[in-house]
Structure 1
Amino acid sequence: MNKVDTNSDCLEYEILWDDLTVGEEIGQGSCGTVCRGLWFGSVVAVKVFSKVEYSEEAIQSFRQEVALMKRLRHPNVLLFMGAVTSPQRLCMVSELLPRGSLFQLLQRKTSKLDWRRRILMALDIARGMNYLHCFSPPIVHRDLKSSNLLVDRNLTVKVADFGLSRVKHETYLTTKSGKGTPQWMAPEVLRNESADEKSDIYSFGVVLWELATEKIPWETLNSMQVIGAVGFMNQRLEIPKDIDPLWISLMESCWHNDAKLRPTFQELTERLRELQRKYTIQFQSTRAALPENYLLKG
């Protein structure tokens, strides 16, 4: 992270706890609780970090990162509005998206998502992540998964819950939750090696698998078994045979064991756009083949 003059920047993003009205809980993360809130009449999401008190270093690091987040502007990145940064209370305020997370959407199975919609959602995520990776300095998510991807009214997907590694680390040490969710983590991360942008690419491959199957990754294994299977035995999720071969090759390229050989989000965006063109042409030719009276009824 760039060194930021946190004292002057503080004023830009600092929100007073007393200005927030915190309502019902709408989500539980590995290091905090997300609640619906009101801030000067606007409905917002308030993420309250769960540790009782944070070290001065963690708060300093938190302030630097939120000063950076305040500069982020992209249609596929959750809009950050501000933060409360006192040692006793650490929380972040962002826009509230009505449909919740992509994980919830896929597991509810109430919205029938056709392949064109799934490709659009994958493109949203790739574009948001590409923006974060191309930022100066690059922002590595480190916890990319479907429950950290939020969906708005129009089914646009936005990347959320990135950064804040120091605060998250301190929180993990004091909670029973362990360290995040291994089902989405790259093998090198599971082996405790250093993570970079390419570790996010692996996680994106798991999200592509979820979009294709609407299943929960490694559902039958516990965390330790996932760490063993993926981190040390080079196993990957099973891919159903009936999925488009282009989608399969996208997933497999993200899961390359040699992180350097995984694509960038820029490359993934281009490949997803090719897939999008293919499905658009298919859709148009199917419509053209339908009898006119059928289309009028629809």
Structure 2
Amino acid sequence: MVHPYPLGVRYSDVEPTAPFSKLFTEIIRAQAASTLHNESHLLNLEHRNIVRLLKLESAADFGLVIMECPRGQSLQRIVDTLALPLMHRVLITLDVVAALRYCHSQNVLHLDVKPTNILVALGTKSSGSGNSSKIKVKRSYICKLCDFGSSIEVGEFCAWQEPTVPKGTLRYMSPEALRSDTLTEASDMYSLGITMWQLQARRLPYHTLDCNETIAYQVVKHELRPDNYHQLKILALDSPIDCDWDLTHESTANVICRRANTSARRNLSVDPSYTVGRDLKKKRRRNRLALHFDSPAPEGSACSESAYSQLYKSCWVSAPESRLSSIQLKHELEFILCHST
């Protein structure tokens, strides 16, 4: 699966057009042949909100993926660094909605929408919430959906591999994906709803739970969602720290978070000078990023925040047919944006 900043990347000397500074190349092992097949769906996609796949090669022992690399950072890192104003959360979501609408129009489901798979190209002049929108908001970034390693074509069924092993990142997966049922555009909308919540809450979904089996069971059987803090607290007391879920199907971010939680429980002492230096670097990074996410409008009102919350809740209802469609979500987001600027 292609990661925004994969290990072992070899950068090309070719200089693509702005806003890209480099190309990145990833070598995929033969065992991940299905990932290479899924990435091939990106070859026919060309959209301003999708990272471009330039070349895809396969051999007996490995595969080669060459993609454009935006100047910027993953949305996950930005959310970890900054509390984004409502206006920018809406603009970011509109970019992702535009990318998903285009994918769905080409009969492709992404199936792994999450902040680590959204690249934010910084320093890119852009205005408005979309190509056809009449709302004009100046900003210096554009968001691009990447990592199609879990994507499928509509109607392809879950013939990823074994039907019992779901693709994607469990904490963002829809109930039908967890059950290995037939997937539709609504499955991507569910994952986008979880991502919208994360932009607001700035927490990993189901952050109090370490066991993925517990999360999957509660999401499917009891409609657990990441904003149910009371239920999460109860489950955290009853849930085992370790369980049998195969971590090869867990995102890198989840593994890192899990290790971080373990380290915190050990209560290890840290060198004060190291802590000060680290905090200073974080502050500098935060200040640099803040330049791109200043809001000319006042912070979103309680009413606008409530409307935003209602939208992501409408994206993650259990019944796929009852979720907001991408066009409905676009209109509702533009309404919030219009009243926030």
Fold agreement, TM-score > 0.5 = yes
**CA shift at 1:106, angstroms?**
0.9
**CA shift at 1:85, angstroms?**
1.4
| Number of equivalent positions | 237
In the aligned structure 2, how far is the partner of 1:208 from the partner of 1:180?
17
Q: Residue 87 of structure 1 aligns to a residue in which SS?
A: coil
Quickly say closer, same or farther: Cα 1:53–1:200, change in 2 above 3 A.
closer
Quickly say closer, same or farther: Cα 1:170–1:259, change in 2 above 3 A.
closer
Within the alignment, does 1:114 sit opposite 2:93 as a pair?
no
- The equivalences for 1:85-234 within 5 A come to 85-107=58-80, 109=81, 111-135=82-106, 138-154=107-123, 155-162=141-148, 169=160, 179-221=167-209, 222-234=211-223
In the aligned structure 2, how far is the partner of 1:119 from the partner of 1:214?
15
Asked if structure 1 preserves the Cα contact closer than 8 Å seen for 2:111 and 2:167, the reply is no
Gaps of 5+ in 1: 1-24, 281-298
| Larger RCO (alpha carbons 8 Å, 6+ apart) | 2
Asked if structure 2 preserves the Cα contact closer than 8 Å seen for 1:26 and 1:35, the reply is no
**CA shift at 1:97, angstroms?**
2.0
Q: Residue 96 of structure 1 aligns to a residue in which SS?
A: strand
Asked if structure 2 preserves the Cα contact closer than 8 Å seen for 1:234 and 1:257, the reply is yes
Q: Residue 332 of structure 2 aligns to a residue in which SS?
A: helix
In the aligned structure 2, how far is the partner of 1:220 from the partner of 1:51?
36
Deviations 1:143-183, CA, capped at 9 Å, x for gaps: 111111111113311111125658x9569x9xxx9854210
In the aligned structure 2, how far is the partner of 1:34 from the partner of 1:182?
25
**CA shift at 1:47, angstroms?**
3.0
Asked if structure 2 preserves the Cα contact closer than 8 Å seen for 1:209 and 1:239, the reply is no
Quickly say closer, same or farther: Cα 1:49–1:113, change in 2 above 3 A.
same
What is the RMSD computed on CA atoms of the aligned residues? 3.1
Quickly say closer, same or farther: Cα 1:231–1:69, change in 2 above 3 A.
same
Q: Which residue of 2 aligns with 1:84?
A: 57
Q: Residue 126 of structure 1 aligns to a residue in which SS?
A: helix
Deviations 1:121-158, CA, capped at 9 Å, x for gaps: 111111111111112xx110111111111111133111
In the aligned structure 2, how far is the partner of 1:181 from the partner of 1:164?
9
Q: TM-score, with normalisation over the residues of structure 2?
A: 0.62
Q: Which residue of 1 aligns with 2:340?
A: 279
Runs of 4+ in 1 over 3 A off after TM superposition: 25-28, 39-42, 50-54, 163-166, 168-171, 177-180
Q: Residue 84 of structure 1 aligns to a residue in which SS?
A: strand
In the aligned structure 2, how far is the partner of 1:34 from the partner of 1:141?
24
Asked if structure 1 preserves the Cα contact closer than 8 Å seen for 2:170 and 2:216, the reply is yes
Q: Which residue of 2 aligns with 1:248?
A: 309
Residue type of the alignment partner of 1:270 = H
Q: Select between 258-267 and 230-239 the one with higher mean Cα deviation.
A: 230-239
Deviations 1:30-49, CA, capped at 9 Å, x for gaps: xxx57251154552122332
Gaps of 5+ in 2: 17-21, 124-140, 153-158, 230-301
Q: Percent identity?
A: 23
Within the alignment, does 1:47 sit opposite 2:15 as a pair?
no
Asked if structure 2 preserves the Cα contact closer than 8 Å seen for 1:82 and 1:93, the reply is yes
Q: Which residue of 2 aligns with 1:263?
A: 324
In the aligned structure 1, how far is the partner of 2:323 from the partner of 2:49?
22
**CA shift at 1:194, angstroms?**
1.9
Q: Residue 44 of structure 2 aligns to a residue in which SS?
A: coil
In the aligned structure 1, how far is the partner of 2:171 from the partner of 2:146?
18
